Amino acid sequence: MQDTSLAFLRSLLDAPGPSGFETGPARTWRDEAKRVADSVSQDVSGNSYATVKGSGDGPAIMFAGHIDEIGLMVVHIDDEGYLWFDPIGGWDEQVFVGQRVVLLGRNGPVRGVLGKKAIHLMDKDDREKTTKAKDLWIDIGATSKAEAAARVRVGDAGVIDTAILDMPNGRIVSRSLDNRIGAFVVLEALRRLAKDRPKGTVTAVATSQEEIAYTGGGARTSATALAPTVAIVVDVTHATDTPGVEKKRHGDVRLGGGPVLARGAATHPVVVELLVEAAEAENIPYAFQASPRFTATDADAIFTTTRGVATGLVSVPNRYMHSPNEMVALDDLDRAAQLLAAFARRVSKDTDWTAR
């Protein structure tokens, strides 16, 4: 991966941006997009757009990766200055115990720790109970409600306070890999296409609120605005090469094994086959993943937008998803971007999107 891209990735991952509060990473994404795209914009839903114009009369293509991450939100400040919170998105609540947090306060970042009664002070029965978010609190060092309220308001959001970590074999660890790397990959694909343009115009979108997208989130609003003929969603999927994961149930997905192509719900068969052709022509390793009911990604919303959009889902293998220490392989990010660019160059006005 080029130094410019790696520096961009680091900045993107380290910017706190839970669902509904994606302003920081979205701004970082747009700043980098201005170096690549013909035009860059944002909308009222929090989506960011970067467009590279096509060299011919090919169809409109959308690449989408959501830029939000799971987090937490302050719901109450008590008289002693402790903050009580609810999760944003799908947490394993055991992960919260003993973590540091950074809250997006109106006057800047506010750091704190997640508090829990020490094990020495617990009764035997309490020691054996599963920890719930409602049993935890955030301690920002305040001594009163007034002091805490001067720094934090109810409704302020935050994330677990961790930073990117480099690992051997070209692997990185970070929070927000789900799915800040999707937003990264779609812009990296655009970077490639700006140097060797496809026939159709391509718009990369960093979508908002996927982790809480019960009604489609930013994917639905951005796809409605763009009305693309075809769309590729980039997200993460579970790497199943860790202890205790049953491949017969969850498939065989390996870190460093290349992008994963979903088949089934919300994925168009013509798009899938074109992705396969592009991967094989570019010598990109890939795997399949079955999605018999839904994909639980932005593809579900985009596929059924307006008149319907021919949609594909390209996923990056990810270990320890929805934790502060997710892990991916940098090679998989490069390969996913390469695949998207190759796909876009294979699409023309004559491409028949009707499954026959």
| Residue 207 DSSP SS3 | strand
Q: At what angle do helices 177-195 and 330-346 cross, to 10 degrees?
A: 50
Q: Tokens at residue 207, please?
A: 């979508």
Q: Which residues pair with 112 in a beta bridge?
A: 101
Among this protein's residues, is 80 annotated catalytic? no
Number of other CB atoms surrounding residue 38 within 10 Å: 12
323: closest CA among 22, 93, 18? 93
Token pair listed for 59: 């169809």
Is 198:189 a contact under the CB 8 Å cutoff? no
CA 194, CA 52: separation in Å to the nearest integer?
6
- What b/e string do you get for 306-335 counting C-beta neighbours within 10 Å, with b at 16 or more? eeebbbbbbbbbbbbbbbbebbbbbbbbbb
Residue 184 sits at the vertex; the CA angle it makes with 178 and 188, to the nearest 5 degrees, is: 150
DSSP state of 89: S
Distance, in Å, from the CA atom of 345 to the CA atom of 278, rounded to the nearest integer, reads 9
Selected catalytic residue, list 22, 210, 211, 326: 210
Sign of CA dihedral 211, 220, 24, 31: positive
Tell me the catalytic residues: 210
